[in-house]
Amino acid sequence: MSATRRGKRPSDSAITIARQMIPSDANPLGIVHGGEIMKMVDEAGGLAAMRHAGSPVVTVRLDSMTFLEPIYVGDLVIAKAMVNWVGRTSVEVGVRVEAQNPITGVRTHTNSAFAVYVALDDEGHPRPVPPLLLETDEEKRRWAEAEQRQRHRLAQRKRKRPTGQPPGA
């Protein structure tokens, strides 16, 4: 079996990145800009997708970025990313963001997001990704929920395509 088609578990490509927020990351009130968090989400998600695909990836969609709590200058921001679902060339990654007070150790769930990436070959064209090996009930639940999101994304894309336009136009 080729390396491309050998399945991988979600844990094989899971990644955690962390960075302390500094004044240049925030507004004058010391609240971190949402764009800084979105950048971390895309970095963590992209790394998990690359690890799964075994190739470069590009971001094609960032779904449902939810801001639950503010993040402040001085907080340690932790982004945890794990592959939820794979298609032929695409990968959905779920990212959970937490802010931790580095002095007290208290962690707060601040954001969640789903991002979709497409794997690329050496010429920059989409390439197949390995199947996802689901082992736990939690992984199966995440897959089922991701499949529903993918169906919704495809339906949205179909509705937005002008009449008479071929797919991908």
CA 103 to the chain's CA centroid: 29
| 8 A C-beta contact, residue 130 and residue 53 | yes
DSSP 15-73: EEEEEE--GGGB-TTSBBPHHHHHHHHHHHHHHHHHHHHTS-EEEEEEEEEEE-S--BT
Residue 6 confidence (pLDDT)? 86
Question: Does residue 14 form part of some domain?
Answer: yes
- For residue 149, what is the domain's CATH number? 3.10.129.10
- Euclidean distance between CA atoms 76 and 99, whole angstroms: 6
Burial readout 92-109 (b: 16 or more C-beta within 10 A, e: otherwise): bbbbbbbbbeeeeeeeee
What band does 22 get if pLDDT is binned at 50, 70 and 90?
A: very high
Question: Would the pTM count as exceeding 0.85?
Answer: yes
| Residue 81 belongs to a domain | yes
Q: What is the mean pLDDT of residues 32-58?
A: 97
In a domain, 4, yes or no: no
Residues 44/110, Cβ–Cβ less than 8 Å: no
SS3 at position 163: coil
Closest CA to 39 of 29, 51, 47: 47
- pLDDT value of residue 3: 44
Q: Position 22: which residue type?
A: I
- 76 in a domain, yes or no? yes
Which is higher by pLDDT, 65 or 81?
Answer: 81
Task: Dig out the tokens for 142 from the structure.
Answer: 């995440």
pLDDT band at residue 2 under the 50/70/90 scheme: very low
Mean pLDDT in residue range 58-72: 92
Domain holding 79, by residue range, is: 10-160
105 inside domain:
yes
What is the Rg, in whole angstroms, of the alpha carbon atoms belonging to the chain?
A: 17
In a domain, 5, yes or no: no
The answer to the question of residue 112 being in a domain is yes
Task: Tell whether 166 is covered by a domain.
Answer: no
Residue 57, pLDDT above cutoff 70: yes
Comparison of pLDDT for 1 and 27, the residue scoring more: 27
The total domain count for the chain is 1
In this prediction, residues 89-106 reach a mean pLDDT of 97
